[in-house]
Amino acid sequence: MALNAFFAANTGMEAQSHALSTIAGNIANINTTGYKTNQTMFYTLLGSQPVVKNNASGLSSSRVDVNGVGFYDRTNILDQGVVTSTGGNFDAAISGNDNAFFTLKDAFNNTYYTRAGDFGTRTENGVTYLIASNGLKVQGFPAIDGGDVFGAGIEDIIIKYPEVLPPQPTTEAKITANVPATGVDSSSYSITVYAPQHDGETLNMIFKKVVGMDNTWDLSFSVEGGTATGSETRVQFDSKGELISPKNLTVDIAWDDGDTNNIALNLTNMTQLAGGSGTTYVEQDGKESGNYLKSYIDKDGVVKAYYSNGESYNFGKLALTGFSAPENLTPLSGTLFEANGTTGEAFFLADNSVIQPQSLERSATNVEAEFGEMIKVQRAYGVNTQTFQAANEMLQLLYDLKA
């Protein structure tokens, strides 16, 4: 019996020693981004196999001796760390969904998963990739021509953008202005318009009073570097100064360099009242060219470049992966996880609103809880050493009796 006690005490010390190492690892990773804590679990070691038999009352087993303790580790994958703001352009955290993981690939096309979103960039052979802190390439859905439409399959996110975005052509415009009711025979109004090779040109609207007709004006257009033609050539107001027609018209611009604009012009807010002329307000959908300012990840997980004109150019959209049984993922070093036969079906999340940009998910380690576990493990280890010592004393007594 004393020898059996040695074995039981020894397995107890080994198990508690391992549990202390697990706790130490959790505490050591208190500042590791995306770290999930490990927990040592214990199970009974039996001295003999139980004899299971079937009788009228059901299954039962014969008595067996408990002859020690075994252990294994469990990773608390679904525990989420606190999300904190970092200000890093390529930092991203997953908040509010414990079954969502960033998707990474290595040079051999092996796929891994992580909650650590401290991303950066690396250039290889002239190509710049979005990478994780461990060097693996971040996977996402590629943007089509830099726009808001993304491909169906995932691939490496590549950071490639034009240094300058060309002007966004004007297709719609709305003008608010007044044509003087008296005192002038003509008045002119200006609208700034854009075309792919024209970074802000002045389109002039020219009103000329029609002789012999009240509240009626001939309308024409002009633009430097091209020819502008309106679909309507006559404008009428009523006696109160409100516009009768046309409320809307089309202006076609043929630029000398081959560019064209077809602009839907809204005149609803034009008036003919006493007072001066002038353009009060113009609203149009064209934009000037933009110079590259920075790249970043937005709140929808879209990796993009931002320009001085307020426009953006998309590279791709982060691929978030979920699993039928995420708690069964295999933990690897570097806060990585790997799918296996027990994780079930993998799927891409359709909604990336769980991403919190310029933030990181901190370690899930709870220091207070770990120190509490440390005290318990220390006491358990101490009790097992006392058992070992008692067994040793019993064996010594037996040896002395035989002597």
Last residue of a domain, one of 257, 284, 311: 284
Instruction: Decide if pLDDT at 20 tops 80.
Output: yes
Rounded distance between C-alpha atoms, residue 160 and residue 313, angstroms: 9
The pLDDT-based confidence of 2 (bands split at 50, 70, 90) is low
Instruction: Decide if pLDDT at 330 tops 70.
Output: yes
Q: What is the pTM of this model?
A: 0.79
Instruction: Decide if pLDDT at 1 tops 60.
Output: no
Residue 44: Cβ-neighbour burial (10 angstroms; 0-12, 13-18, 19+): exposed
Q: Residue 280: give the domain boundaries.
A: 172-284
Rounded distance between C-alpha atoms, residue 339 and residue 337, angstroms: 7
What does the mean pLDDT of the chain come to? 92
Residues 277 and 204 in one domain: yes
The residue-averaged pLDDT of 105-109 equals 96
Residues 88 and 131 in one domain: yes
Residues 274 and 178 in one domain: yes
Residues 207 and 274 in one domain: yes
> pLDDT (tens digit, 9 = 90+) per residue, 61-75?
665 676 789 999 999
Residues 250 and 184 in one domain: yes
Rounded distance between C-alpha atoms, residue 278 and residue 300, angstroms: 43
Specify the DSSP class assigned to residue 329: P
Residues 177 and 272 in one domain: yes
Residues 31 and 58 in one domain: yes
Residues 189 and 250 in one domain: yes
Residues 160 and 180 in one domain: no
The CATH code of the domain that includes 211 is 2.60.98.20
Residues 270 and 191 in one domain: yes
* Count of domains observed in the chain: 3
3-state secondary structure 218-258: EEEEEECCEEEEECCCEEEECCCCEEEECCEEEEEEEECCC
Residues 150 and 295 in one domain: yes
H or E segment and range at residue 200 = strand 198-209
